[in-house]
C-alpha cells in the first residue's frame, strides 16, 4: 500500500476534512486519473472508519490521487488542495472536528515536501494563517467501499468543502 508511481503517473496524498468532499473536487481536475478515499498518518494497520472517527488512531481521512504529471503538476495539485478547503482551521473542517479531519499534505519525497513548503510560504506571505501540517507519507489504507465515490453515488454535494480561488 505504499506510493509507487508508474512510469507515466504519479501519486499525491492529502487530508482536508471529510474525504468525500476532497475526493469530489479532485475527481473534477484535469490530469487526475483516480482518487481513492482512505486513511493515512496513523498508528494502526488497516483501520476502520469507526476506529478513525474515534480519534485514537492518529489517522487522517485522506485521499490518494493518481495523476498524469504531463497534464497537471504536483504544484497545481497542492494549490488546488488549498482552494477546496479551509486550511486555516486546526483539526476540523466545518462541523467535522478532530485530528482525523486535519489539513495535511502527506509528502512522498523531498520534491513534494519542497513544493508544499513553497506554497505554504506563499500563503503565509498573502496573510493566511496556515494550519496545514506536512507529514511523511508512509502507508495509505483504502476506506470501505461505501466511502468511495460517495457524492457520485448519492447525487449530493459536499457539505464542508467549496472552491475558492486563491492562486
Mean pLDDT to the nearest integer, 125-148: 97
Q: Tens digits of per-residue pLDDT, 81-117?
A: 999 999 999 999 989 999 999 999 999 999 999 999 9
pTM value is 0.93
Q: What would the grid cell of residue 10 be? A: 504519479
The question of whether 18 is a catalytic residue gets the answer yes
Pairing of strands 133-136, 103-107: parallel
φ/ψ of residue 128, rounded to 5: -80, 150
What average pLDDT does the structure give for the chain? Answer: 94
Report the SS3 class of residue 63.
strand
**Domains (ranges, CATH) in the chain?**
10-148 (3.30.1060.10)
Share of the chain above pLDDT 70, in %: 96
| Confidence band for 39, pLDDT divided at 50, 70 and 90 | very high
End-to-end CA distance of the chain: 32
Among candidate residues 3, 11, 13, 18, the one labeled active-site is: 18
Is residue 140 pLDDT above 70, yes or no? yes
Q: How confident is the model at residue 1 (pLDDT cuts 50, 70, 90)?
A: very low
Please give the share of the chain, as a percent, with pLDDT higher than 90: 88
Is the confidence at residue 61, as pLDDT, over 70?
Answer: yes
Amino acid at each position: 500500500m505504499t506510493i509507487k508511481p508508474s512510469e507515466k503517473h504519479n501519486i499525491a496524498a492529502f487530508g482536508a476534512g471529510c474525504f468525500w468532499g476532497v475526493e469530489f473536487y479532485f475527481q473534477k481536475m484535469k490530469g487526475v486519473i483516480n482518487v481513492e478515499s482512505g486513511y493515512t498518518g496513523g498508528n494502526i494497520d488497516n483501520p476502520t472508519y469507526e476506529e478513525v472517527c474515534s480519534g485514537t488512531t492518529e489517522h487522517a481521512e485522506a485521499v490518494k490521487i493518481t495523476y498524469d504529471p504531463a497534464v497537471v503538476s504536483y504544484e497545481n495539485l497542492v494549490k488546488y488542495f488549498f482552494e477546496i478547503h479551509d486550511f486555516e482551521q486546526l483539526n476540523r473542517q466545518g462541523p467535522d472536528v478532530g485530528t482525523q479531519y486535519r489539513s495535511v499534505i502527506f509528502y512522498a519525497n523531498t520534491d513534494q515536501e519542497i513544493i508544499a513548503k513553497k506554497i505554504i510560504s506563499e500563503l503565509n506571505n498573502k496573510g493566511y494563517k496556515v494550519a496545514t501540517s506536512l507529514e511523511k507519507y508512509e502507508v495509505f489504507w483504502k476506506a470501505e467501499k461505501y466511502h468511495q465515490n460517495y457524492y457520485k453515488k448519492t447525487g449530493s454535494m459536499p457539505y464542508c468543502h467549496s472552491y475558492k480561488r486563491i492562486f
